[in-house]
Structure 1
Amino acid sequence: MEIDRIVGGRLEKARRRKGWHQRELGAAVGRSESWVSQVERGVAALDSVAMAERLARTVGLEVEFLLAFDVRYPADPKPTRPVRSSGPVAGSSVVAASDAEGYGAVLRRVFALGSLAGLTTAVTGLSPDAHAQISRAPDHGVDRASVDELRAIGAAYRRSYRSFPASSLVTVAHYQVQLVLSLRPKDQPAGVRESLLAHLAEMAALAGALLAVDLGDPELAEGYLDLGYQVAKETGSAETRALILAGRAFPVAFGGDAESALDYALAAVDAAGRGASARMRAWTSAVASEMYASTGDEHGFRASLEEARRVVSRPVDDERWGGIGAFDLSKADAYEGSDLVRLGRFAEALPALDGAIERLSPQMLRHRCSAHISRAEAYAGAGEVEAACADGHAALELAGRVQHLETVRRVTVLHRGLRSRGTAGIRALGEHLVDVRTVLGTARRMV
């Protein structure tokens, strides 16, 4: 892999700076000269978090630099113009330990990705015999502890949706899908099989969401969502079925079929009501509120959002949450503001969006991104052009960092609607839009 060659090159340079031979470094970390040579040439990958930390400490490097986090998870360039935002914006690092599960979990994700890299070289969709792979007899069983660790890693990936770049995260999700398929869950013991299939469906849903919403490839997303739905039906999991059905509502809505999108959302609400976690019930109700608003049904939107708030206002069992990212009361505020924008109620939308942007966690970059573009649309609808441009800039900054093409599409529509006014602020927004589209076009071609 290219990343292994980068890691090896950094290790070699650091070793040479110390004036050591390969055998000396090997002796210092308890490995052979041959092993050091293979790592430095990129032939062998580092095989554990502990070894990466030991090597980094020995040669005097930061472990993040040795592992090439700057290459694996590049932060997108910041805009050169100042951006005004009335709410806080997260820090510049998309892999900050404070974001998700902490430093150790980020390292585990790197090694999970590295260990699966041989399964596929690109995100090209599921192989034609993917379903056949599930039914083949395994060479040996999978131990429960390994499956539990896999599920923990999967939960970390799903939480990372809040702030990780789409092109990095979708590749990881794809590898996880292929890994589970290679383990042939149908032939594992019942408990292991159920857990593996749940992980497969969750990773398929994550890949589908990233492809459909962030990377603008609904056709490829459909393959993952189809697989996830088949697994959900087979396992009978209310959590997984609700997740996949709600996930399918978004690309359908983006395709212009609001009525069908509402059907998917309502099916998700029904599925969640048959035993899903409280947070899943709340989130699916919020998704339904958005789809109701898209059809112009204000009563349906308000009733669904009220139900979402009622559920999430009580203690929830996060251990059962199989969803992507996060959903809480601040996100419910964002849904309310966005729904009101869809209904053309711009003045009413602004207080809800102000509250959402103030209360959303700084780590929830995608959620903040959506809230800023919704507020920009509300300001534009209310005739406040400069405020609309300011929020448009804030949305684009975040969209560039997490690679969220749906936000870029919405800013494009906003800019075209305002462009005829010809102000300096509108022209600056257009320039910023071109910059971000260029960056995201490059990132999308790399997937």
Structure 2
Amino acid sequence: MNEVDVLVGRQVAAARRRRGLSQVAFAALIGRSESWVSKVETGVIRLDSLSLAQRIAELVGIPLECLLALEARTGHRQVPVGQGQTLKLMHLLINPRDWEMWDEVKRRWFFGQAAASVMTMLDLLRTHPAHAHDLGDRFESVRAGRVRLDGETVEGLEQATLGYRRAYRSSSAFSLIGPAYGTLNVLLELAPDAGEHHDRVVSMIGQMGALVGTMLMLDLGDFDSSRQYLAIAARAGQQIDDPQLLGFALGCRAFHASYSGNRRGGLGFARGALDLAGRGIHPVTRGWLSAVASEMHASSGEDRECEFLLDEAACHLGRTDLADLADPWLGIGVFNVDKLAAYRGGGLMRLGRYGEAQNALLGALGRLDPALRKHRCTAHIDLAEAFVLDRKIDDGAEHAIDALRIIESTRHADSLRRVEKLFTAVRPARTATVRRLGEKLIALKAMS
């Protein structure tokens, strides 16, 4: 029996008696049963409707705060650190006057300042109550003018974040990073008063952090700023104890380390994510983490480990109950059997098994949905490298040209870097196809 519930029940009973009402008459006036009134007055059940409490207060002629005994019960419970403070953080910087996406220095400053603001809010939310303890907390929230999130709004925000995560597979960072960043603004504004939806809002902050971090890393080549947003995703996952979100953040950090030149560090992050997966995460997420780790092993020339992890990923994707599982895939883009086939081909290419890689990647390109432009672009570049390393220069150049056609719209920095490196390797061949690749590359760079 909760001490606060008993205190409120006594207030209700005393006010009812002062009005000369029996429990039967009182129950009839408020539309409840005599049994319900008796249980509330003795603290057996909680008065959990703010609108009903307001109705009772008006009926018995006392202020609502008196009915809820707000002053009398301040000594009955300790207020956690930060609860008595209204969490309000100014909006992140939005379109400052000298904002320029193409200016690397200004972009880094802009996103660095914003990332610090997000981390500050996450720190504050850690000590802020996730749930209203009772009706008094909810009343004080309303009286203070704070808006509590309703379930429909949260569901709408979840659909928006899902849409942005899916849109990444086809959209350029220059069109997507603004809306994703704006969504972070909305989530930070709503987070302090999310109430029972606290964990869902923090999860969305982490998901948007991972999306922005991925775009900064792979699309814009800004690894310093990217690391700050991937850290936001990891922090959010830790705070709400969500192994799926934390595992995805670690998988992204694996790419960040590996593409920064630290292959063993990348493998360490991938292995750490797989260890975390043992706590139970969605099979698609677990399959993706296995595929990520396979790429790290392939880059280190470790055939057996790479193939084992690819087979493990296939087993996770092959489960027949995927559609029935509650926890959704929180990743970016898509991960399915077709994308796994592309991972397999890329791994074989990195292991030096060029003939097998060519067959696997051609098969993957034949199945990958044309809408998955970034995934197809990666497969084209992996295939181009497999052909070039197998001394099939023109075939490799053709697929590099196919990749550039996609890069024209996605502006994917990492893909462009890889094509530039490949062209440097094949330029001495001076074939017509290689010259065409060079012309396409210089034209694209001239427009950037």
TM-score normalised by L of structure 1: 0.69
AA at the equivalent of 1:232: G
1:341 Cα deviation after fit: 1.1
Give runs of ≥4 in structure 1 deviating > 3 Å: 116-123, 127-134
What SS does the corresponding residue of 1:141 show, helix, strand or coil? coil
RMSD over aligned CA atoms reads 1.9
AA at the equivalent of 1:151: E
Change in Cα spacing, 1:189 to 1:181, as seen in structure 2 (3 Å) is: same
AA at the equivalent of 1:276: I
Q: Report whether the alignment pairs 1:410 with 2:418.
A: yes
Q: Report whether the alignment pairs 1:348 with 2:356.
A: yes
Q: What residue is the counterpart of 2:119 in the other structure?
A: 131
1:120 Cα deviation after fit: 4.7
* Structure 1 unaligned residues grouped into runs of 5+: 1-115, 442-447
Please list the CA deviations of residues 240-270 of structure 1 after superposition, one character each: whole Å capped at 9, or x if unmatched. 0111000111121111110000011111222
Query: 2: CA distance between counterparts of 1:119 and 1:183?
Result: 17
Aligned pairs for 1:55-94 (under 5 A) are: none
Q: Report whether the alignment pairs 1:208 with 2:216.
A: no
1:327 Cα deviation after fit: 0.7
C-alpha contact 1:239 1:322 (8 A) present in aligned 2? yes
Q: What residue is the counterpart of 2:56 in the other structure?
A: none
Q: What residue is the counterpart of 2:386 in the other structure?
A: 378
AA at the equivalent of 2:336: D
Change in Cα spacing, 1:252 to 1:188, as seen in structure 2 (3 Å) is: same
> Which structure: larger Rg?
2
1:417 Cα deviation after fit: 0.7
Query: 1: CA distance between counterparts of 2:422 and 2:402?
Result: 13
Q: What residue is the counterpart of 1:398 in the other structure?
A: 406
Q: What residue is the counterpart of 1:247 in the other structure?
A: 252
1:141 Cα deviation after fit: 1.3
- How many residues are treated as equivalent by the alignment? 323
C-alpha contact 1:279 1:311 (8 A) present in aligned 2? yes
Q: Report whether the alignment pairs 1:189 with 2:195.
A: yes
AA at the equivalent of 1:358: G
C-alpha contact 1:119 1:179 (8 A) present in aligned 2? no
* Structure 2 unaligned residues grouped into runs of 5+: 1-90, 100-106, 129-140
Q: What residue is the counterpart of 2:159 in the other structure?
A: 152
Please list the CA deviations of residues 297-346 of structure 1 after superposition, one character each: whole Å capped at 9, or x if unmatched. 11111011000011102232476111100011111110011111111211
AA at the equivalent of 1:155: L
Q: Which residue of 231, 240, 250 corresponds with 2:236?
A: 231
Q: What residue is the counterpart of 1:387 in the other structure?
A: 395
Q: Report whether the alignment pairs 1:294 with 2:299.
A: yes
Query: 2: CA distance between counterparts of 1:270 and 1:128?
Result: 29
1:140 Cα deviation after fit: 2.1
Q: What residue is the counterpart of 2:341 in the other structure?
A: 333
Please list the CA deviations of residues 401-434 of structure 1 after superposition, one character each: whole Å capped at 9, or x if unmatched. 1121111111111111111111121111111112
1:165 Cα deviation after fit: 1.1
Change in Cα spacing, 1:367 to 1:251, as seen in structure 2 (3 Å) is: same
Among the aligned pairs, what percent are the same residue?
Answer: 32
C-alpha contact 1:408 1:437 (8 A) present in aligned 2? no
AA at the equivalent of 1:205: A
Q: What residue is the counterpart of 1:49 in the other structure?
A: none
Q: Report whether the alignment pairs 1:278 with 2:307.
A: no
Please list the CA deviations of residues 135-170 of structure 1 after superposition, one character each: whole Å capped at 9, or x if unmatched. 378822111211110001110111111101111112
1:400 Cα deviation after fit: 1.8
1:184 Cα deviation after fit: 3.1
Query: 1: CA distance between counterparts of 2:381 and 2:388?
Result: 10
Q: Which residue of 412, 431, 440 corresponds with 1:423?
A: 431
Q: Which residue of 420, 431, 440 corresponds with 1:432?
A: 440
Aligned pairs for 1:303-314 (under 5 A) are: 303-314=308-319
Change in Cα spacing, 1:127 to 1:423, as seen in structure 2 (3 Å) is: closer
AA at the equivalent of 2:118: A
Q: What residue is the counterpart of 1:23 in the other structure?
A: none
Query: 1: CA distance between counterparts of 2:119 and 2:336?
Result: 36
Query: 2: CA distance between counterparts of 1:149 and 1:402?
Result: 27
Query: 1: CA distance between counterparts of 2:294 and 2:372?
Result: 21
TM-score normalised by L of structure 2: 0.69
> Which protein, 1 or 2, shows the higher relative CO under an 8 Å CA cutoff with sep ≥ 6?
1
C-alpha contact 1:288 1:301 (8 A) present in aligned 2? yes
1:206 Cα deviation after fit: 0.6
Query: 2: CA distance between counterparts of 1:158 and 1:170?
Result: 11
Query: 2: CA distance between counterparts of 1:117 and 1:127?
Result: 9
Q: What residue is the counterpart of 2:80 in the other structure?
A: none
Q: What residue is the counterpart of 1:97 in the other structure?
A: none
AA at the equivalent of 2:266: A
Change in Cα spacing, 1:294 to 1:353, as seen in structure 2 (3 Å) is: same
Query: 2: CA distance between counterparts of 1:183 and 1:365?
Result: 34
Q: What residue is the counterpart of 2:45 in the other structure?
A: none
What SS does the corresponding residue of 2:261 show, helix, strand or coil? coil
Query: 2: CA distance between counterparts of 1:243 and 1:338?
Result: 20
Aligned pairs for 1:22-37 (under 5 A) are: none
C-alpha contact 2:357 2:386 (8 A) present in aligned 1? yes
Q: What residue is the counterpart of 2:30 in the other structure?
A: none
C-alpha contact 1:202 1:322 (8 A) present in aligned 2? yes
1:359 Cα deviation after fit: 0.6
Q: Which residue of 174, 182, 185 corresponds with 1:175?
A: 182
Q: What residue is the counterpart of 2:172 in the other structure?
A: 165
Select between 120-129 and 413-422 the one with higher mean Cα deviation: 120-129
Change in Cα spacing, 1:287 to 1:160, as seen in structure 2 (3 Å) is: same
1:273 Cα deviation after fit: 2.9
C-alpha contact 1:166 1:215 (8 A) present in aligned 2? yes
